[in-house]
Structure 1
Amino acid sequence: MKRHIPNFITLLNLFCGCIATVFAVMNQLEFAAIFVFMGICFDFFDGLAARLLDVRSELGVQLDSLADMVTSGLVPGVVMFQLLNLASKGGWNLDLFGMHTEVQLLPLFGFIITLASAYRLANFNVDENQVSSFLGLPTPANALLILSLPLILFYQNTTVLHEVILNQWVLLGITLISAYLLNANIPLFALKFSNWSFKDNAVKYLFLLASLVLLITLRFLAVPIIILLYIVMSLLDKKSMA
Protein backbone atom coordinates (compact mmCIF):
# COMPACT_ATOMS: atom_id res chain seq x y z
CA MET A 1 0.00 0.00 0.00
CA LYS A 2 2.72 2.46 0.95
CA ARG A 3 4.31 2.21 -2.51
CA HIS A 4 1.26 3.98 -3.96
CA ILE A 5 1.46 7.00 -1.64
CA PRO A 6 4.11 8.98 -3.63
CA ASN A 7 2.26 8.28 -6.90
CA PHE A 8 -1.00 9.51 -5.38
CA ILE A 9 0.72 12.74 -4.32
CA THR A 10 2.10 13.06 -7.87
CA LEU A 11 -1.42 12.72 -9.25
CA LEU A 12 -2.49 15.56 -6.96
CA ASN A 13 0.22 17.63 -8.66
CA LEU A 14 -1.27 16.71 -12.04
CA PHE A 15 -4.79 17.50 -10.82
CA CYS A 16 -3.67 20.97 -9.72
CA GLY A 17 -2.03 21.43 -13.10
CA CYS A 18 -5.27 20.56 -14.88
CA ILE A 19 -7.22 23.10 -12.84
CA ALA A 20 -4.48 25.70 -13.37
CA THR A 21 -4.70 25.09 -17.13
CA VAL A 22 -8.43 25.79 -17.11
CA PHE A 23 -7.94 29.04 -15.22
CA ALA A 24 -5.04 30.07 -17.48
CA VAL A 25 -7.13 29.47 -20.62
CA MET A 26 -9.90 31.56 -19.05
CA ASN A 27 -7.31 34.30 -18.42
CA GLN A 28 -7.80 33.96 -14.66
CA LEU A 29 -4.05 34.05 -14.12
CA GLU A 30 -4.19 34.71 -10.39
CA PHE A 31 -6.06 31.45 -9.76
CA ALA A 32 -3.82 29.63 -12.22
CA ALA A 33 -0.82 30.75 -10.15
CA ILE A 34 -2.39 29.46 -6.93
CA PHE A 35 -2.92 25.97 -8.34
CA VAL A 36 0.52 25.88 -9.94
CA PHE A 37 2.03 26.69 -6.55
CA MET A 38 -0.05 23.92 -4.95
CA GLY A 39 1.07 21.51 -7.66
CA ILE A 40 4.73 22.38 -7.11
CA CYS A 41 4.26 21.72 -3.38
CA PHE A 42 2.87 18.26 -4.19
CA ASP A 43 5.81 17.78 -6.58
CA PHE A 44 8.20 18.39 -3.69
CA PHE A 45 6.37 16.11 -1.27
CA ASP A 46 6.02 13.15 -3.64
CA GLY A 47 9.81 12.86 -3.89
CA LEU A 48 10.17 13.36 -0.14
CA ALA A 49 7.58 10.65 0.52
CA ALA A 50 9.31 8.26 -1.88
CA ARG A 51 12.63 8.73 -0.09
CA LEU A 52 11.16 8.44 3.40
CA LEU A 53 9.18 5.30 2.51
CA ASP A 54 12.01 3.94 0.34
CA VAL A 55 9.60 3.16 -2.49
CA ARG A 56 11.21 5.00 -5.39
CA SER A 57 10.36 3.40 -8.74
CA GLU A 58 10.76 3.98 -12.47
CA LEU A 59 6.99 4.37 -12.72
CA GLY A 60 7.14 7.19 -10.19
CA VAL A 61 9.87 8.94 -12.16
CA GLN A 62 7.87 8.84 -15.39
CA LEU A 63 4.62 9.87 -13.67
CA ASP A 64 6.38 12.78 -11.99
CA SER A 65 7.59 14.12 -15.34
CA LEU A 66 4.16 13.75 -16.91
CA ALA A 67 2.61 15.72 -14.06
CA ASP A 68 5.32 18.38 -14.28
CA MET A 69 4.70 18.67 -18.03
CA VAL A 70 1.21 19.97 -17.28
CA THR A 71 1.76 21.97 -14.09
CA SER A 72 5.19 23.41 -14.89
CA GLY A 73 5.24 23.11 -18.69
CA LEU A 74 1.82 23.66 -20.24
CA VAL A 75 0.49 26.23 -17.76
CA PRO A 76 3.47 28.64 -18.02
CA GLY A 77 3.15 28.46 -21.81
CA VAL A 78 -0.55 29.38 -21.66
CA VAL A 79 0.18 32.18 -19.19
CA MET A 80 2.87 33.62 -21.47
CA PHE A 81 0.43 33.30 -24.38
CA GLN A 82 -2.10 35.38 -22.42
CA LEU A 83 0.50 38.00 -21.46
CA LEU A 84 1.74 38.29 -25.05
CA ASN A 85 -1.85 38.54 -26.21
CA LEU A 86 -2.37 41.50 -23.85
CA ALA A 87 0.83 43.12 -25.07
CA SER A 88 0.32 42.48 -28.79
CA LYS A 89 -0.65 45.35 -31.03
CA GLY A 90 -2.75 44.24 -33.96
CA GLY A 91 -2.79 40.94 -35.80
CA TRP A 92 -3.27 39.30 -39.19
CA ASN A 93 -6.63 39.57 -40.91
CA LEU A 94 -7.58 36.18 -42.32
CA ASP A 95 -10.58 34.77 -44.13
CA LEU A 96 -11.16 31.19 -42.99
CA PHE A 97 -14.04 29.26 -44.54
CA GLY A 98 -15.72 32.51 -45.45
CA MET A 99 -15.37 33.91 -41.92
CA HIS A 100 -13.29 37.02 -41.33
CA THR A 101 -11.10 36.89 -38.24
CA GLU A 102 -8.05 38.61 -36.77
CA VAL A 103 -5.28 36.28 -35.64
CA GLN A 104 -2.55 37.22 -33.18
CA LEU A 105 0.59 35.30 -34.10
CA LEU A 106 3.05 36.67 -31.56
CA PRO A 107 1.28 35.13 -28.51
CA LEU A 108 1.89 31.67 -29.98
CA PHE A 109 5.59 32.14 -29.23
CA GLY A 110 4.66 31.76 -25.55
CA PHE A 111 4.39 28.02 -26.15
CA ILE A 112 8.14 27.91 -26.74
CA ILE A 113 8.25 27.59 -22.95
CA THR A 114 6.05 24.48 -23.14
CA LEU A 115 8.21 22.94 -25.87
CA ALA A 116 11.43 23.68 -23.98
CA SER A 117 9.92 22.24 -20.79
CA ALA A 118 8.98 19.02 -22.59
CA TYR A 119 12.50 18.66 -23.96
CA ARG A 120 14.03 19.31 -20.55
CA LEU A 121 11.80 16.78 -18.77
CA ALA A 122 12.48 14.10 -21.39
CA ASN A 123 16.21 14.77 -21.18
CA PHE A 124 16.09 14.69 -17.37
CA ASN A 125 14.54 11.22 -17.44
CA VAL A 126 17.37 9.73 -19.49
CA ASP A 127 20.23 11.67 -17.85
CA GLU A 128 21.70 9.65 -15.00
CA ASN A 129 23.92 12.54 -13.85
CA GLN A 130 21.08 14.76 -12.56
CA VAL A 131 20.54 13.09 -9.20
CA SER A 132 21.95 15.39 -6.52
CA SER A 133 22.08 18.44 -8.81
CA PHE A 134 20.50 19.78 -11.99
CA LEU A 135 21.72 20.82 -15.42
CA GLY A 136 19.59 23.76 -16.42
CA LEU A 137 16.73 25.43 -14.59
CA PRO A 138 14.17 22.95 -13.19
CA THR A 139 10.69 23.31 -14.68
CA PRO A 140 9.01 24.18 -11.33
CA ALA A 141 11.43 27.08 -10.80
CA ASN A 142 10.79 28.29 -14.34
CA ALA A 143 7.02 28.01 -13.80
CA LEU A 144 7.27 30.18 -10.67
CA LEU A 145 9.24 32.74 -12.67
CA ILE A 146 6.59 32.98 -15.41
CA LEU A 147 3.62 32.90 -13.02
CA SER A 148 5.14 35.69 -10.93
CA LEU A 149 4.67 38.15 -13.81
CA PRO A 150 0.86 38.40 -13.67
CA LEU A 151 0.98 38.40 -9.86
CA ILE A 152 3.31 41.41 -9.94
CA LEU A 153 0.84 43.14 -12.25
CA PHE A 154 -2.09 42.32 -9.97
CA TYR A 155 -0.57 43.19 -6.61
CA GLN A 156 2.47 45.42 -7.13
CA ASN A 157 1.62 47.24 -10.31
CA THR A 158 3.27 50.56 -11.06
CA THR A 159 3.47 52.48 -14.31
CA VAL A 160 7.05 51.34 -14.85
CA LEU A 161 6.37 47.67 -14.06
CA HIS A 162 3.25 47.70 -16.22
CA GLU A 163 5.13 49.11 -19.20
CA VAL A 164 8.01 46.68 -18.75
CA ILE A 165 6.05 43.47 -18.13
CA LEU A 166 3.47 44.14 -20.85
CA ASN A 167 6.08 45.08 -23.44
CA GLN A 168 5.82 42.42 -26.12
CA TRP A 169 9.57 42.41 -26.76
CA VAL A 170 10.38 42.06 -23.08
CA LEU A 171 7.97 39.13 -22.84
CA LEU A 172 9.43 37.54 -25.95
CA GLY A 173 12.91 38.00 -24.47
CA ILE A 174 11.81 36.37 -21.21
CA THR A 175 10.34 33.49 -23.22
CA LEU A 176 13.58 32.86 -25.11
CA ILE A 177 15.76 33.22 -22.00
CA SER A 178 13.44 30.86 -20.16
CA ALA A 179 13.69 28.24 -22.92
CA TYR A 180 17.48 28.57 -22.90
CA LEU A 181 17.84 28.28 -19.13
CA LEU A 182 15.66 25.17 -19.03
CA ASN A 183 18.09 23.30 -21.28
CA ALA A 184 21.37 25.09 -20.68
CA ASN A 185 24.41 23.12 -19.59
CA ILE A 186 24.53 25.07 -16.32
CA PRO A 187 25.02 23.04 -13.09
CA LEU A 188 22.53 24.08 -10.39
CA PHE A 189 22.26 22.68 -6.88
CA ALA A 190 19.15 20.75 -5.86
CA LEU A 191 17.38 21.51 -2.60
CA LYS A 192 17.88 17.97 -1.33
CA PHE A 193 19.54 17.33 2.03
CA SER A 194 21.43 14.13 2.80
CA ASN A 195 22.06 15.57 6.27
CA TRP A 196 21.25 18.78 8.16
CA SER A 197 24.85 19.91 8.69
CA PHE A 198 25.36 23.62 7.99
CA LYS A 199 28.90 22.93 6.78
CA ASP A 200 27.70 20.48 4.12
CA ASN A 201 24.68 22.56 3.11
CA ALA A 202 25.84 26.15 3.64
CA VAL A 203 24.91 27.34 0.16
CA LYS A 204 21.43 25.83 0.40
CA TYR A 205 20.76 27.33 3.82
CA LEU A 206 22.00 30.75 2.75
CA PHE A 207 19.88 30.59 -0.38
CA LEU A 208 16.74 29.67 1.59
CA LEU A 209 17.38 32.44 4.11
CA ALA A 210 17.99 35.04 1.39
CA SER A 211 14.86 33.88 -0.46
CA LEU A 212 12.75 34.24 2.68
CA VAL A 213 14.03 37.78 3.30
CA LEU A 214 13.40 38.74 -0.34
CA LEU A 215 9.87 37.33 -0.30
CA ILE A 216 9.01 39.21 2.91
CA THR A 217 10.37 42.50 1.64
CA LEU A 218 9.58 42.37 -2.10
CA ARG A 219 6.73 39.85 -2.24
CA PHE A 220 6.08 38.62 -5.82
CA LEU A 221 8.71 40.94 -7.25
CA ALA A 222 11.23 38.82 -5.35
CA VAL A 223 10.63 35.71 -7.49
CA PRO A 224 12.68 36.77 -10.58
CA ILE A 225 15.44 37.96 -8.23
CA ILE A 226 15.40 34.63 -6.37
CA ILE A 227 15.72 32.70 -9.64
CA LEU A 228 18.69 34.86 -10.63
CA LEU A 229 20.19 34.40 -7.15
CA TYR A 230 19.74 30.63 -7.48
CA ILE A 231 21.72 30.57 -10.72
CA VAL A 232 24.48 32.86 -9.43
CA MET A 233 24.91 30.98 -6.13
CA SER A 234 25.00 27.66 -7.98
CA LEU A 235 27.75 28.90 -10.28
CA LEU A 236 29.75 30.27 -7.36
CA ASP A 237 29.29 27.04 -5.46
CA LYS A 238 30.59 24.99 -8.37
CA LYS A 239 33.62 27.25 -8.68
CA SER A 240 34.42 26.86 -5.00
CA MET A 241 34.18 23.07 -5.34
CA ALA A 242 36.44 22.97 -8.38
Structure 2
Amino acid sequence: MKKWIPNSITLLNLFCGCAAIINILDHQFVPAFWFLFAAGWFDFGDGLAARLLNVSSEHGKELDSLADMVSFGAVPGVIYYTLLFIGQSSAPASAPSVTWSWYAAPGLLVVLFSALRLAKFNLDTRQTENFMGVATPTSTVFAVGLMLIYALDPFGWSAYALSPWVLYPAIVAFSYLLISEHPMFSFKIKGAKWVGNETRIIFAVLAIALLIGLRTAAFPFIVGVYLIINLISPPQSSPT
Protein backbone atom coordinates (compact mmCIF):
# COMPACT_ATOMS: atom_id res chain seq x y z
CA MET A 1 0.00 0.00 0.00
CA LYS A 2 2.89 2.36 0.77
CA LYS A 3 4.06 2.21 -2.84
CA TRP A 4 0.93 4.07 -3.95
CA ILE A 5 1.90 7.16 -1.96
CA PRO A 6 4.75 8.22 -4.30
CA ASN A 7 2.74 7.02 -7.31
CA SER A 8 -0.18 9.19 -6.25
CA ILE A 9 2.16 12.18 -5.99
CA THR A 10 3.42 11.39 -9.50
CA LEU A 11 -0.15 11.35 -10.78
CA LEU A 12 -0.68 14.79 -9.24
CA ASN A 13 2.31 15.95 -11.30
CA LEU A 14 0.61 14.52 -14.40
CA PHE A 15 -2.70 16.18 -13.51
CA CYS A 16 -1.03 19.57 -13.10
CA GLY A 17 0.75 19.19 -16.43
CA CYS A 18 -2.53 18.44 -18.19
CA ALA A 19 -4.22 21.38 -16.46
CA ALA A 20 -1.34 23.66 -17.51
CA ILE A 21 -1.75 22.66 -21.17
CA ILE A 22 -5.47 23.43 -21.05
CA ASN A 23 -4.78 26.83 -19.51
CA ILE A 24 -2.03 27.66 -22.02
CA LEU A 25 -4.27 26.87 -24.99
CA ASP A 26 -6.96 29.04 -23.38
CA HIS A 27 -4.40 31.85 -22.87
CA GLN A 28 -4.71 31.63 -19.10
CA PHE A 29 -0.96 31.93 -18.65
CA VAL A 30 -0.71 32.84 -14.98
CA PRO A 31 -2.84 29.87 -13.81
CA ALA A 32 -0.75 27.69 -16.15
CA PHE A 33 2.38 28.88 -14.37
CA TRP A 34 0.99 27.92 -10.96
CA PHE A 35 -0.03 24.48 -12.20
CA LEU A 36 3.52 23.98 -13.48
CA PHE A 37 4.95 25.26 -10.23
CA ALA A 38 2.89 22.63 -8.41
CA ALA A 39 3.95 19.96 -10.94
CA GLY A 40 7.59 20.72 -10.16
CA TRP A 41 7.03 20.23 -6.44
CA PHE A 42 5.13 16.99 -7.04
CA ASP A 43 7.97 15.80 -9.30
CA PHE A 44 10.39 16.43 -6.45
CA GLY A 45 8.03 15.00 -3.84
CA ASP A 46 7.40 11.61 -5.44
CA GLY A 47 11.09 10.73 -5.40
CA LEU A 48 11.48 12.01 -1.85
CA ALA A 49 8.48 9.97 -0.69
CA ALA A 50 9.80 6.86 -2.42
CA ARG A 51 13.16 7.20 -0.67
CA LEU A 52 11.63 7.89 2.75
CA LEU A 53 9.27 4.94 2.44
CA ASN A 54 11.87 2.73 0.73
CA VAL A 55 9.39 1.75 -1.96
CA SER A 56 11.18 2.71 -5.17
CA SER A 57 10.37 0.47 -8.12
CA GLU A 58 10.72 0.24 -11.88
CA HIS A 59 6.98 0.82 -12.16
CA GLY A 60 7.28 4.10 -10.28
CA LYS A 61 10.26 5.13 -12.40
CA GLU A 62 8.34 4.57 -15.63
CA LEU A 63 5.26 6.35 -14.28
CA ASP A 64 7.43 9.32 -13.31
CA SER A 65 8.81 9.56 -16.84
CA LEU A 66 5.32 9.45 -18.33
CA ALA A 67 4.21 12.28 -16.04
CA ASP A 68 7.35 14.29 -16.83
CA MET A 69 6.71 13.81 -20.55
CA VAL A 70 3.49 15.78 -20.14
CA SER A 71 4.52 18.39 -17.55
CA PHE A 72 8.05 19.04 -18.84
CA GLY A 73 7.94 17.64 -22.37
CA ALA A 74 4.59 18.55 -23.91
CA VAL A 75 4.12 21.80 -21.99
CA PRO A 76 7.13 23.72 -23.40
CA GLY A 77 6.18 22.65 -26.91
CA VAL A 78 2.63 23.91 -26.39
CA ILE A 79 4.01 27.19 -25.02
CA TYR A 80 6.21 27.73 -28.09
CA TYR A 81 3.34 26.78 -30.39
CA THR A 82 0.96 29.20 -28.66
CA LEU A 83 3.41 32.10 -28.57
CA LEU A 84 4.23 31.64 -32.26
CA PHE A 85 0.54 31.42 -33.09
CA ILE A 86 -0.21 34.62 -31.18
CA GLY A 87 2.74 36.37 -32.79
CA GLN A 88 1.49 35.74 -36.32
CA SER A 89 -2.22 36.12 -35.55
CA SER A 90 -4.12 39.26 -36.41
CA ALA A 91 -6.27 38.70 -33.33
CA PRO A 92 -3.83 38.00 -30.48
CA ALA A 93 -6.56 38.11 -27.84
CA SER A 94 -8.23 35.00 -29.23
CA ALA A 95 -7.15 31.49 -28.39
CA PRO A 96 -5.64 29.36 -31.19
CA SER A 97 -8.26 27.75 -33.39
CA VAL A 98 -8.31 24.05 -34.21
CA THR A 99 -6.90 24.86 -37.64
CA TRP A 100 -3.29 23.73 -38.00
CA SER A 101 -0.73 26.50 -38.22
CA TRP A 102 2.44 25.71 -40.14
CA TYR A 103 4.05 28.83 -38.71
CA ALA A 104 3.67 27.66 -35.12
CA ALA A 105 4.08 23.93 -35.65
CA PRO A 106 7.91 23.92 -35.20
CA GLY A 107 7.31 24.67 -31.53
CA LEU A 108 6.25 21.07 -31.12
CA LEU A 109 9.76 19.86 -32.00
CA VAL A 110 10.65 20.33 -28.34
CA VAL A 111 8.03 17.71 -27.47
CA LEU A 112 9.72 15.15 -29.72
CA PHE A 113 13.20 15.79 -28.38
CA SER A 114 11.90 15.75 -24.80
CA ALA A 115 10.58 12.24 -25.46
CA LEU A 116 14.00 11.20 -26.77
CA ARG A 117 15.61 12.79 -23.74
CA LEU A 118 13.42 10.97 -21.21
CA ALA A 119 13.82 7.62 -22.95
CA LYS A 120 17.59 8.09 -22.95
CA PHE A 121 17.64 9.18 -19.31
CA ASN A 122 15.90 6.01 -18.14
CA LEU A 123 18.63 3.86 -19.68
CA ASP A 124 21.68 6.05 -19.04
CA THR A 125 23.54 4.97 -15.91
CA ARG A 126 25.89 7.98 -16.14
CA GLN A 127 23.24 10.45 -14.98
CA THR A 128 23.11 9.62 -11.30
CA GLU A 129 24.98 12.69 -10.03
CA ASN A 130 24.99 15.09 -12.99
CA PHE A 131 23.08 15.28 -16.25
CA MET A 132 24.16 14.60 -19.80
CA GLY A 133 22.39 17.31 -21.73
CA VAL A 134 19.70 19.64 -20.43
CA ALA A 135 17.02 18.15 -18.20
CA THR A 136 13.40 18.58 -19.34
CA PRO A 137 12.45 20.81 -16.35
CA THR A 138 15.22 23.25 -17.33
CA SER A 139 13.86 23.41 -20.87
CA THR A 140 10.41 24.04 -19.43
CA VAL A 141 11.58 26.84 -17.14
CA PHE A 142 12.95 28.72 -20.16
CA ALA A 143 9.69 28.37 -22.09
CA VAL A 144 7.63 29.32 -19.05
CA GLY A 145 9.81 32.38 -18.61
CA LEU A 146 8.99 33.57 -22.13
CA MET A 147 5.31 32.91 -21.44
CA LEU A 148 5.42 35.08 -18.31
CA ILE A 149 7.30 37.86 -20.09
CA TYR A 150 4.49 37.95 -22.66
CA ALA A 151 1.67 37.62 -20.14
CA LEU A 152 2.91 40.04 -17.46
CA ASP A 153 5.28 42.23 -19.49
CA PRO A 154 7.07 43.79 -16.48
CA PHE A 155 9.66 45.62 -18.61
CA GLY A 156 7.91 46.04 -21.95
CA TRP A 157 9.56 42.98 -23.46
CA SER A 158 6.43 41.12 -24.58
CA ALA A 159 7.25 41.63 -28.28
CA TYR A 160 10.49 39.68 -27.82
CA ALA A 161 8.56 36.75 -26.32
CA LEU A 162 6.50 36.55 -29.53
CA SER A 163 9.35 37.14 -31.96
CA PRO A 164 10.25 34.24 -34.27
CA TRP A 165 13.85 35.52 -34.04
CA VAL A 166 13.76 34.52 -30.37
CA LEU A 167 11.42 31.53 -30.46
CA TYR A 168 12.83 29.58 -33.41
CA PRO A 169 16.45 29.68 -32.16
CA ALA A 170 15.24 28.70 -28.68
CA ILE A 171 13.35 25.72 -30.12
CA VAL A 172 16.37 24.55 -32.12
CA ALA A 173 18.80 25.13 -29.25
CA PHE A 174 16.79 23.24 -26.64
CA SER A 175 15.91 20.43 -29.03
CA TYR A 176 19.66 19.89 -29.43
CA LEU A 177 20.56 20.44 -25.77
CA LEU A 178 17.98 17.94 -24.55
CA ILE A 179 19.80 15.09 -26.28
CA SER A 180 23.36 16.44 -26.23
CA GLU A 181 26.23 14.68 -24.49
CA HIS A 182 27.48 17.80 -22.74
CA PRO A 183 27.61 17.32 -18.95
CA MET A 184 25.35 19.61 -16.91
CA PHE A 185 25.37 19.92 -13.14
CA SER A 186 22.30 18.79 -11.25
CA PHE A 187 20.87 20.66 -8.27
CA LYS A 188 21.61 17.93 -5.74
CA ILE A 189 23.69 19.53 -2.99
CA LYS A 190 25.49 16.90 -0.94
CA GLY A 191 26.14 18.09 2.58
CA ALA A 192 26.71 21.65 3.76
CA LYS A 193 30.26 21.95 2.44
CA TRP A 194 31.55 24.51 -0.05
CA VAL A 195 33.93 21.96 -1.58
CA GLY A 196 32.11 19.96 -4.22
CA ASN A 197 29.15 22.35 -4.24
CA GLU A 198 30.91 25.50 -5.48
CA THR A 199 29.19 25.66 -8.86
CA ARG A 200 25.73 24.98 -7.45
CA ILE A 201 26.10 27.62 -4.73
CA ILE A 202 27.40 30.26 -7.14
CA PHE A 203 24.53 29.52 -9.51
CA ALA A 204 22.00 29.73 -6.68
CA VAL A 205 23.30 33.16 -5.65
CA LEU A 206 23.15 34.43 -9.23
CA ALA A 207 19.65 33.00 -9.70
CA ILE A 208 18.39 34.73 -6.55
CA ALA A 209 19.94 38.02 -7.68
CA LEU A 210 18.21 37.72 -11.06
CA LEU A 211 14.88 36.95 -9.40
CA ILE A 212 15.21 40.02 -7.20
CA GLY A 213 16.21 42.27 -10.08
CA LEU A 214 13.99 40.96 -12.89
CA ARG A 215 11.15 39.29 -10.95
CA THR A 216 8.84 37.35 -13.29
CA ALA A 217 11.09 38.09 -16.28
CA ALA A 218 14.08 36.35 -14.67
CA PHE A 219 13.51 32.73 -15.67
CA PRO A 220 14.99 32.72 -19.21
CA PHE A 221 18.04 34.59 -17.91
CA ILE A 222 18.48 32.12 -15.06
CA VAL A 223 18.48 29.26 -17.55
CA GLY A 224 20.92 31.22 -19.70
CA VAL A 225 23.31 31.58 -16.75
CA TYR A 226 22.97 27.86 -16.04
CA LEU A 227 23.90 26.99 -19.62
CA ILE A 228 26.84 29.42 -19.72
CA ILE A 229 28.28 28.03 -16.48
CA ASN A 230 28.04 24.47 -17.80
CA LEU A 231 29.51 25.32 -21.20
CA ILE A 232 32.42 27.21 -19.65
CA SER A 233 33.11 24.77 -16.85
CA PRO A 234 31.58 21.28 -17.23
CA PRO A 235 30.78 19.68 -13.87
CA GLN A 236 33.09 17.18 -12.26
CA SER A 237 32.09 14.37 -9.96
CA SER A 238 31.97 15.41 -6.32
CA PRO A 239 34.70 14.00 -4.09
CA THR A 240 33.72 10.96 -2.07
- Distance in 2 (CA, whole Å) between partners of 1:128 and 1:178 is 22
Match of 2:168 in 1: 172
How many positions carry a matched residue from both structures? 230
Deviates more, 1:219-228 or 1:190-199: 190-199
Deviations 1:85-122 (A, max 9, x none): 011268xxxxxxxxxx9753111111011111111011
Deviations 1:37-92 (A, max 9, x none): 110111112222223333222112111110011111111111111100011268xx
Match of 2:13 in 1: 13
Sequence identity of aligned pairs in percent?
Answer: 39
- Given the two structures, how large is their TM-score scaled by the length of structure 1? 0.86
Match of 2:125 in 1: 128
1:181 and 2:180 are equivalent in the alignment: no
Tell me which amino acid in the other structure corresponds to 1:238.
P
- Distance in 1 (CA, whole Å) between partners of 2:133 and 2:82 is 25
Q: Is the 8 A contact 1:116 1:183 kept in 2?
A: yes
- Distance in 2 (CA, whole Å) between partners of 1:179 and 1:136 is 10
Match of 1:109 in 2: 106
Match of 1:97 in 2: none
- Distance in 2 (CA, whole Å) between partners of 1:141 and 1:238 is 16
For structure 2, list consecutive stretches of 5 or more residues without a partner in the other structure: 91-97
Q: How does 1:38-187 map to 2 (within 5 A)?
A: 38-88=38-88, 104-159=101-156, 161-187=157-183
Match of 2:22 in 1: 22
Compute the displacement of 1:157 (Å): 4.5
- Distance in 1 (CA, whole Å) between partners of 2:5 and 2:73 is 24
Q: Is the 8 A contact 2:151 2:158 kept in 1?
A: no
- Given the two structures, how large is their TM-score scaled by the length of structure 2? 0.87
Q: How does 1:186-201 map to 2 (within 5 A)?
A: 186-201=182-197
1:211 and 2:216 are equivalent in the alignment: no
Deviations 1:105-147 (A, max 9, x none): 1111110111111110111111111111111111111111101
Compute the displacement of 1:183 (Å): 1.2
For structure 1, list consecutive stretches of 5 or more residues without a partner in the other structure: 91-100
What is the aligned-residue RMSD (CA, Å)?
Answer: 2.1
Bigger radius of gyration = 1
SS in 1 for 2:234: helix
